[in-house]
Protein backbone atom coordinates (compact mmCIF):
# COMPACT_ATOMS: atom_id res chain seq x y z
CA UNK A 1 0.00 0.00 0.00
CA UNK A 2 1.49 3.39 -0.99
CA UNK A 3 1.86 5.79 1.94
CA UNK A 4 0.69 8.74 -0.14
CA UNK A 5 -1.32 8.53 -3.33
CA UNK A 6 -2.77 10.94 -5.86
CA UNK A 7 -5.82 9.78 -7.83
CA UNK A 8 -6.95 11.96 -10.69
CA UNK A 9 -5.64 14.99 -8.82
CA UNK A 10 -6.32 18.09 -10.88
CA UNK A 11 -5.99 21.87 -10.62
CA UNK A 12 -7.39 24.51 -12.92
CA UNK A 13 -6.82 28.19 -12.30
CA UNK A 14 -8.86 30.68 -14.31
CA UNK A 15 -7.66 30.02 -17.82
CA UNK A 16 -4.81 27.62 -16.90
CA UNK A 17 -4.96 23.87 -16.53
CA UNK A 18 -1.94 23.79 -14.20
CA UNK A 19 -2.26 20.11 -13.17
CA UNK A 20 -4.03 17.68 -15.48
CA UNK A 21 -5.57 14.61 -13.79
CA UNK A 22 -2.58 12.96 -12.12
CA UNK A 23 -2.13 9.49 -10.60
CA UNK A 24 0.98 8.94 -8.52
CA UNK A 25 1.92 6.64 -5.63
CA UNK A 26 4.69 7.45 -3.15
CA UNK A 27 6.32 4.53 -1.32
CA UNK A 28 7.00 4.85 2.41
CA UNK A 29 10.56 6.00 3.05
CA UNK A 30 11.51 6.74 -0.55
CA UNK A 31 13.10 9.89 -1.92
CA UNK A 32 10.87 10.71 -4.87
CA UNK A 33 12.00 13.53 -7.13
CA UNK A 34 9.65 15.54 -9.32
CA UNK A 35 11.21 17.45 -12.18
CA UNK A 36 9.80 19.81 -14.78
CA UNK A 37 10.45 23.08 -16.55
CA UNK A 38 9.15 26.42 -15.27
CA UNK A 39 5.37 26.40 -15.54
CA UNK A 40 5.14 22.58 -15.54
CA UNK A 41 2.96 22.60 -12.40
CA UNK A 42 5.47 21.79 -9.63
CA UNK A 43 4.43 24.65 -7.31
CA UNK A 44 0.79 23.82 -7.90
CA UNK A 45 1.37 20.20 -6.87
CA UNK A 46 3.18 21.29 -3.69
CA UNK A 47 0.41 23.72 -2.79
CA UNK A 48 -2.19 20.98 -3.23
CA UNK A 49 -0.21 18.59 -1.00
CA UNK A 50 0.32 21.21 1.74
CA UNK A 51 -3.27 22.43 1.92
CA UNK A 52 -2.45 25.88 0.52
CA UNK A 53 -4.88 25.80 -2.44
CA UNK A 54 -8.02 23.74 -3.11
CA UNK A 55 -7.99 21.07 -5.82
CA UNK A 56 -10.37 21.17 -8.76
CA UNK A 57 -10.90 17.39 -8.74
CA UNK A 58 -9.41 14.10 -7.60
CA UNK A 59 -8.26 12.52 -4.37
CA UNK A 60 -5.24 12.56 -2.07
CA UNK A 61 -4.93 9.41 0.06
CA UNK A 62 -2.74 8.81 3.11
CA UNK A 63 -2.28 5.09 3.78
CA UNK A 64 -5.33 4.44 1.63
CA UNK A 65 -7.57 6.98 3.38
CA UNK A 66 -8.77 10.06 1.48
CA UNK A 67 -7.80 13.35 3.17
CA UNK A 68 -9.30 16.79 2.54
CA UNK A 69 -6.16 18.94 3.06
CA UNK A 70 -8.19 22.15 3.02
CA UNK A 71 -5.77 24.08 5.28
CA UNK A 72 -2.00 24.12 5.87
CA UNK A 73 -2.71 23.19 9.51
CA UNK A 74 -4.49 20.02 8.41
CA UNK A 75 -1.52 19.06 6.24
CA UNK A 76 0.84 19.57 9.21
CA UNK A 77 -1.43 17.50 11.45
CA UNK A 78 -1.12 14.69 8.89
CA UNK A 79 2.68 15.02 9.14
CA UNK A 80 3.10 16.79 5.79
CA UNK A 81 5.71 19.57 5.95
CA UNK A 82 7.41 21.62 3.25
CA UNK A 83 10.83 23.25 2.96
CA UNK A 84 10.81 26.00 0.36
CA UNK A 85 13.36 27.59 -1.91
CA UNK A 86 13.24 30.76 0.16
CA UNK A 87 13.63 30.26 3.89
CA UNK A 88 10.29 31.14 5.53
CA UNK A 89 11.34 31.55 9.16
CA UNK A 90 11.78 34.62 11.40
CA UNK A 91 15.21 36.25 10.93
CA UNK A 92 14.70 38.46 14.02
CA UNK A 93 14.37 35.49 16.37
CA UNK A 94 17.02 33.11 17.62
CA UNK A 95 17.70 29.77 15.97
CA UNK A 96 16.10 28.07 18.99
CA UNK A 97 12.95 30.20 18.80
CA UNK A 98 12.65 29.38 15.11
CA UNK A 99 12.93 25.65 15.74
CA UNK A 100 10.12 25.80 18.30
CA UNK A 101 8.14 28.64 16.70
CA UNK A 102 4.45 28.33 17.55
CA UNK A 103 5.09 25.70 20.20
CA UNK A 104 7.19 27.67 22.67
CA UNK A 105 4.36 28.48 25.10
CA UNK A 106 2.96 24.98 25.11
CA UNK A 107 6.36 23.36 25.52
CA UNK A 108 8.30 25.79 27.66
CA UNK A 109 5.99 28.37 29.23
CA UNK A 110 6.88 32.05 29.32
CA UNK A 111 10.40 33.23 30.21
CA UNK A 112 11.91 29.84 29.45
CA UNK A 113 14.05 30.90 26.54
CA UNK A 114 17.21 29.49 28.12
CA UNK A 115 15.56 26.09 28.47
CA UNK A 116 14.39 26.29 24.86
CA UNK A 117 17.93 27.12 23.70
CA UNK A 118 19.26 24.06 25.54
CA UNK A 119 16.67 21.79 23.91
CA UNK A 120 17.30 23.28 20.47
CA UNK A 121 21.06 22.85 20.92
CA UNK A 122 20.54 19.17 21.71
CA UNK A 123 18.56 18.75 18.50
CA UNK A 124 21.25 20.49 16.44
CA UNK A 125 24.03 18.44 18.07
CA UNK A 126 22.10 15.21 17.47
CA UNK A 127 21.74 16.12 13.81
CA UNK A 128 25.49 16.67 13.66
CA UNK A 129 25.27 20.40 12.91
CA UNK A 130 27.98 22.64 14.29
CA UNK A 131 25.56 25.54 14.75
CA UNK A 132 24.74 27.63 17.84
CA UNK A 133 21.08 27.71 18.93
CA UNK A 134 21.30 31.05 20.78
CA UNK A 135 22.23 33.34 17.85
CA UNK A 136 19.78 35.20 15.63
CA UNK A 137 18.65 33.23 12.61
CA UNK A 138 19.82 36.13 10.42
CA UNK A 139 23.39 35.55 11.65
CA UNK A 140 23.44 32.25 9.72
CA UNK A 141 24.08 31.81 6.01
CA UNK A 142 21.09 30.97 3.82
CA UNK A 143 22.33 27.40 3.62
CA UNK A 144 22.54 27.11 7.39
CA UNK A 145 19.04 28.61 7.65
CA UNK A 146 17.80 25.95 5.21
CA UNK A 147 19.24 23.28 7.53
CA UNK A 148 17.37 24.90 10.45
CA UNK A 149 14.14 24.91 8.43
CA UNK A 150 14.60 21.20 7.77
CA UNK A 151 15.49 20.47 11.40
CA UNK A 152 12.36 22.35 12.43
CA UNK A 153 10.15 20.22 10.19
CA UNK A 154 11.88 17.05 11.40
CA UNK A 155 11.33 17.90 15.07
CA UNK A 156 7.61 18.33 14.55
CA UNK A 157 7.27 14.70 13.63
CA UNK A 158 7.06 15.23 9.89
CA UNK A 159 6.28 11.94 8.12
CA UNK A 160 6.43 13.59 4.70
CA UNK A 161 8.86 16.30 3.78
CA UNK A 162 8.41 18.18 0.54
CA UNK A 163 11.45 20.10 -0.67
CA UNK A 164 10.90 22.79 -3.28
CA UNK A 165 14.24 23.54 -4.96
CA UNK A 166 15.92 23.84 -1.55
CA UNK A 167 19.42 24.26 -2.95
CA UNK A 168 18.58 27.28 -5.14
CA UNK A 169 20.61 29.66 -2.94
CA UNK A 170 23.03 27.18 -1.35
CA UNK A 171 26.74 26.64 -1.91
CA UNK A 172 27.89 23.15 -2.89
CA UNK A 173 29.08 22.48 0.65
CA UNK A 174 25.78 23.61 2.15
CA UNK A 175 23.89 21.48 -0.36
CA UNK A 176 26.02 18.47 0.64
CA UNK A 177 25.09 19.04 4.30
CA UNK A 178 21.42 19.31 3.37
CA UNK A 179 21.60 16.07 1.37
CA UNK A 180 23.20 14.29 4.32
CA UNK A 181 20.34 15.47 6.51
CA UNK A 182 17.74 14.38 3.94
CA UNK A 183 19.28 10.89 3.79
CA UNK A 184 19.29 10.74 7.54
CA UNK A 185 15.60 11.64 7.67
CA UNK A 186 14.91 9.00 5.04
CA UNK A 187 16.64 6.38 7.23
CA UNK A 188 14.39 7.38 10.11
CA UNK A 189 11.34 6.59 7.95
CA UNK A 190 10.38 9.99 6.53
CA UNK A 191 9.06 9.95 2.95
CA UNK A 192 10.72 12.67 0.88
CA UNK A 193 9.32 14.50 -2.14
CA UNK A 194 12.11 16.46 -3.78
CA UNK A 195 11.23 19.07 -6.41
CA UNK A 196 14.09 20.18 -8.61
CA UNK A 197 15.12 20.97 -12.14
CA UNK A 198 18.76 20.07 -11.50
CA UNK A 199 19.06 16.55 -12.90
CA UNK A 200 22.47 15.94 -11.32
CA UNK A 201 20.92 16.45 -7.88
CA UNK A 202 18.07 14.13 -8.70
CA UNK A 203 20.47 11.36 -9.79
CA UNK A 204 22.56 11.86 -6.66
CA UNK A 205 19.72 11.89 -4.16
CA UNK A 206 16.53 10.25 -5.38
CA UNK A 207 15.28 6.65 -5.54
CA UNK A 208 12.65 7.48 -8.17
CA UNK A 209 11.84 10.43 -10.38
CA UNK A 210 8.58 11.60 -11.93
CA UNK A 211 8.47 14.02 -14.84
CA UNK A 212 5.92 16.85 -15.07
CA UNK A 213 5.46 18.47 -18.47
CA UNK A 214 2.84 21.14 -19.18
CA UNK A 215 0.78 20.07 -16.19
CA UNK A 216 0.86 16.39 -17.11
CA UNK A 217 2.70 13.65 -15.20
CA UNK A 218 4.38 11.87 -18.08
CA UNK A 219 6.13 9.05 -16.22
CA UNK A 220 8.06 7.68 -13.26
CA UNK A 221 11.44 5.93 -13.36
CA UNK A 222 13.63 4.17 -10.83
CA UNK A 223 17.07 5.66 -10.41
CA UNK A 224 19.61 2.87 -10.40
CA UNK A 225 22.54 3.26 -8.00
CA UNK A 226 24.94 1.36 -10.24
CA UNK A 227 27.11 3.60 -12.33
CA UNK A 228 28.06 2.30 -15.76
CA UNK A 229 31.51 3.85 -15.49
CA UNK A 230 32.42 2.01 -12.31
P1 LIG B 1 6.14 25.42 -11.75
O2 LIG B 1 6.20 25.45 -10.27
O3 LIG B 1 6.48 24.08 -12.34
O4 LIG B 1 6.92 26.53 -12.38
P5 LIG B 1 3.40 26.35 -11.45
O6 LIG B 1 2.64 25.32 -10.70
O7 LIG B 1 3.87 27.57 -10.73
O8 LIG B 1 4.60 25.63 -12.22
O9 LIG B 1 2.53 26.85 -12.68
C10 LIG B 1 1.85 25.96 -13.56
C11 LIG B 1 0.98 26.79 -14.49
O12 LIG B 1 -0.08 27.37 -13.74
C13 LIG B 1 1.73 27.92 -15.16
O14 LIG B 1 1.17 28.07 -16.45
C15 LIG B 1 1.40 29.11 -14.27
O16 LIG B 1 1.46 30.32 -15.00
C17 LIG B 1 -0.02 28.80 -13.84
N18 LIG B 1 -0.37 29.35 -12.53
C19 LIG B 1 0.28 29.12 -11.36
N20 LIG B 1 -0.32 29.75 -10.33
C21 LIG B 1 -1.39 30.38 -10.87
C22 LIG B 1 -2.43 31.21 -10.35
N23 LIG B 1 -2.49 31.50 -9.03
N24 LIG B 1 -3.36 31.70 -11.19
C25 LIG B 1 -3.31 31.40 -12.50
N26 LIG B 1 -2.37 30.64 -13.10
C27 LIG B 1 -1.41 30.14 -12.29
P1 LIG C 1 8.84 28.26 -9.15
O2 LIG C 1 10.10 29.01 -8.82
O3 LIG C 1 8.40 27.31 -8.07
O4 LIG C 1 8.85 27.64 -10.52
P5 LIG C 1 7.09 30.22 -10.33
O6 LIG C 1 8.10 31.23 -10.73
O7 LIG C 1 6.46 29.34 -11.33
O8 LIG C 1 7.68 29.36 -9.12
O9 LIG C 1 5.91 30.95 -9.56
C10 LIG C 1 6.15 31.71 -8.42
C11 LIG C 1 4.80 31.94 -7.74
O12 LIG C 1 3.89 32.65 -8.59
C13 LIG C 1 4.11 30.62 -7.41
O14 LIG C 1 3.52 30.75 -6.15
C15 LIG C 1 3.05 30.46 -8.50
O16 LIG C 1 1.92 29.73 -8.07
C17 LIG C 1 2.70 31.90 -8.79
N18 LIG C 1 2.31 32.03 -10.20
C19 LIG C 1 2.93 31.48 -11.25
N20 LIG C 1 2.31 31.79 -12.40
C21 LIG C 1 1.24 32.57 -12.05
C22 LIG C 1 0.20 33.21 -12.78
N23 LIG C 1 0.09 33.11 -14.10
N24 LIG C 1 -0.69 33.93 -12.08
C25 LIG C 1 -0.62 34.01 -10.75
N26 LIG C 1 0.34 33.44 -10.00
C27 LIG C 1 1.25 32.72 -10.63
Q: How many CA atoms lie within 13 A of 51 on its CB side?
A: 15
ipTM above 0.85, yes or no: no
Task: Please report which confidence band the pLDDT of residue 106 belongs to, taking 50, 70 and 90 as the band edges.
Answer: low
Report which of residues 174 and 8 the model is more confident about. Answer: 8
> Minimal CA–CA distance to 192: which of 228, 163, 227?
163
Residue 19 clears pLDDT 80, i.e. is over it: yes
If DSSP codes are grouped into helix, strand and coil, which group holds residue 59?
A: strand
pTM, rounded to two decimals: 0.85
Average pLDDT over residues 64-92: 92
Most confident of 67-71, 106-110, 139-143, 157-161: 67-71
Supply the pLDDT for residue 227. Answer: 52
74: how many CB neighbours lie within 10 A of its CB? 14
Residue 30 clears pLDDT 50, i.e. is over it: yes
Average pLDDT over residues 60-85: 94
Supply the pLDDT for residue 230. Answer: 42
Phi-psi region of 157 (alpha: psi -120 to 50; beta: other; left: phi over 0): left
Rounded CA separation 129/181 (Å): 9
The pocket around ligand 1, CB under 6 angstroms, is made up of 13, 16, 18, 36, 38-44
- Among all bound ligands, the one having the nearest atom to the CA of 40 is 1
Q: Whose CA is closest to atom 20 on ligand 1?
A: 44
Q: Find the 108 Cα to ligand 1 centroid distance in Å.
A: 41
Q: Find the 64 Cα to ligand 2 centroid distance in Å.
A: 31
The pocket around ligand 2, CB under 6 angstroms, is made up of 38, 42-43
Amino acid sequence: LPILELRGLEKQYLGTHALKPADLAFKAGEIHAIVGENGAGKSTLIKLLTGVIPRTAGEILLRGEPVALTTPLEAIQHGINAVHQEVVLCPHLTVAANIFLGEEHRRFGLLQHRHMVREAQKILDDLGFVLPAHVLLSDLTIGQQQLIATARAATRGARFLIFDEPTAYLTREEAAQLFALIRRLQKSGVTIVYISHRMEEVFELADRVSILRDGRLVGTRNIDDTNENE
